[in-house]
């Protein structure tokens, strides 16, 4: 069946995208506003988009009542943010941080999470997250009313020591991280069920 986006309500376009483009990694984005209040929110329109330089991209839809979400506003104002990744053990805290809190309220406190200082940016890390990426804005684009596409350049990657197998070779115990992916509707996807395929080579 063909779904022509021009003929669909916005809510149906969202449903089709999120029901078919799965799993999606979750960017648990922490920022800080001009008053110093930390903000934290999860976004699943997210992925890594390059490595030289290291680049991430995050799509932030408009917030409640048609306003720009606090995360987007803070990124526009400060030019920096942190992407924290979400293991299964932090699923409930991540979900709690998605609450439609009024501006100026820190989701860190609401979710019982700890702010940790970053090395290069003012935005805090989620201390409980096993992986955090410190980022500055490489580019940003308003893609719709109060909808923002943020391209971030990664300045530092924090990985909890217990998951580092060989720091010199950048070997990480990825299965042990137990990361979550976003599914459709209210579903989430565990990353433990994997299989391997080797990329083919023309010479072979």
Percentage of the residues of the chain whose pLDDT score is greater than 90: 90
pLDDT for 204 beyond 90: no
Domains and CATH numbers, the chain: 23-190 (2.30.110.10)
pLDDT at 133: 98
- Taking a C-beta distance cutoff of 8 angstroms, is the pair 158, 132 a contact? yes
- Taking a C-beta distance cutoff of 8 angstroms, is the pair 120, 155 a contact? yes
pLDDT for 109 beyond 90: yes
Round to the nearest angstrom and report the end-to-end CA distance of the chain: 39
Q: How high does pLDDT run on average in the chain?
A: 96
Q: For residue 155, which of 85, 87, 83 has the smallest C-alpha distance?
A: 83
Task: For residue 63, name the pLDDT band (cuts at 50, 70, 90).
Answer: confident
pTM of the model: 0.95
pLDDT at 64: 79
pLDDT at 103: 87
């Amino acid at each position: 069946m063909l779904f022509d986006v021009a003929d669909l309500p916005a809510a149906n376009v969202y449903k089709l995208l999120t029901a078919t483009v799965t799993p999606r990694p979750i960017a648990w984005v922490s920022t800080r506003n001009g008053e110093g209040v930390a903000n934290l929110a999860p976004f699943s329109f997210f992925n890594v988009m390059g490595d030289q330089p290291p680049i991430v991209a995050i799509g932030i839809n408009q917030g409640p009542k048609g306003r720009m979400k606090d995360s987007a506003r803070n990124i526009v104002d400060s030019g920096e943010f942190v992407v924290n990744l979400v293991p299964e053990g932090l699923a409930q805290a991540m979900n709690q941080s998605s609450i439609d809190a009024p501006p100026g309220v820190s989701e860190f406190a609401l979710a019982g999470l700890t702010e940790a200082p970053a090395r290069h940016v003012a935005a805090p890390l989620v201390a409980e997250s096993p992986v955090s990426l410190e980022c500055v804005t490489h580019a940003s684009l308003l893609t719709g009313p109060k909808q923002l596409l943020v391209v971030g350049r990664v300045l530092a990657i924090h990985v909890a020591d217990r998951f580092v197998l060989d720091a010199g070779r950048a070997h990480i115990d990825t299965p042990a991280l137990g990361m979550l992916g976003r599914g459709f509707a209210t579903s989430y996807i565990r990353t433990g069920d994997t299989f391997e395929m080797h990329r083919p080579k023309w010479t072979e």
